[in-house]
Amino acid sequence: MEHDFRYVRFQGRELAENTLFPKGIFSICHQLANEKMDEEDAALFFEIDKWFSEELPWPGPCKRQERVVCFFKTENTEEMIKMVRPMMWLLEKYNHPYYVVFTNTPGEIVYEDRWQVCCKVEDPEIVAVQPSWSPKD
Amino acid sequence: MLKIEKQLTEKDLCILLQGRLDSQTSPQLEKEILDSIPGVEKLTLDMKELEYISSAGLRVLLVAMKAMKNQGEMKLVSVGETVRDILEVTGFADILTIE
């Protein structure tokens, strides 16, 4: 099913202060590595992070901490997504929840390269809870 | 404890690992690999007698894989059940070449 979607993002439950969007897996792992992971797990994460820094461009809008979030392009990132897997294992090891989000509508793209897009984050929309659909209710 | 045996045949290097690859022994393996691979085109890690691998060991495998990427290939052979389970659970079974 995941191959029907053009984009994928690995994110946590907590919201980033600048975007009010769930924090991405790299940001979460960095924080965990600095605050909670034991030394060898942190060293493993930093080696994985170094691999990404050599293979995956760091988008300008992210460097500038603009109100954007990044999605991998599913088409070109098989190898990269395999390298994310140990990061997910580390999050599981430290009981940190994460979600894998597939989408074809990531938002307004403000940066793009061969492997990823960065999309503008809109203000969250809060809507009333829908009445029940069940006629019995 | 980790015992390392190396066999170099022209540009093929085979490293046999015996024991545990953990935070105590990983620095030893990392140094052996990085000192030995200049000029090597095929690096084989024989894991038949490796009993356990920790995150520190996984990190060394990743370092070795990256180092070999520019000059050849690396593979793991004869991976035992315990180590294979660790590689599967951590996702490294899909990252490394395992025969």
Domain positions in chain A are 2-120
Distance CA B97, CA B75 (A): 5
- Judged by CB atoms closer than 8 Å, whether chains meet at B95 and A85 is answered as yes
pLDDT tens digits for range A88-133: 999 999 999 999 999 999 999 999 999 999 999 988 888 888 887 7
The answer to whether the beta carbons of residues A39 and A98 sit under 8 Å apart is no
Q: Which pLDDT does position A85 carry in this prediction?
A: 97
- Judged by CB atoms closer than 8 Å, whether chains meet at A85 and B66 is answered as no
pLDDT tens digits for range A2-54: 568 999 999 999 999 989 999 999 999 999 999 999 999 999 999 999 999 99
Helix and strand numbers (H, E) in chain A are 4, 6
Angle between helix A78-93 and helix A25-35 axes, rounded to 10 deg: 40
B92 touches chain A (CB under 8 A): yes
| Chain B nearest C-alpha distance from A45 (Å) | 8
Q: Which pLDDT does position A1 carry in this prediction?
A: 52
B98 DSSP 8-state letter: B
Q: Which pLDDT does position B28 carry in this prediction?
A: 96
The residue ranges of chain B whose pLDDT is under 70 are none
- Judged by CB atoms closer than 8 Å, whether chains meet at B23 and A51 is answered as no
The answer to whether the beta carbons of residues A106 and A71 sit under 8 Å apart is yes
- Judged by CB atoms closer than 8 Å, whether chains meet at A47 and B23 is answered as no
The answer to whether the beta carbons of residues A111 and A66 sit under 8 Å apart is no
ipTM: 0.95
Q: What is the CATH number of domain B2-95?
A: 3.30.750.24
In chain A, what are the helix, strand and coil shares in percent, each to the nearest 5?
Answer: 35, 25, 40
Contacts of A88 in chain B (CB under 8 A): 91
A99 touches chain B (CB under 8 A): no
Distance CA B67, CA A48 (A): 14
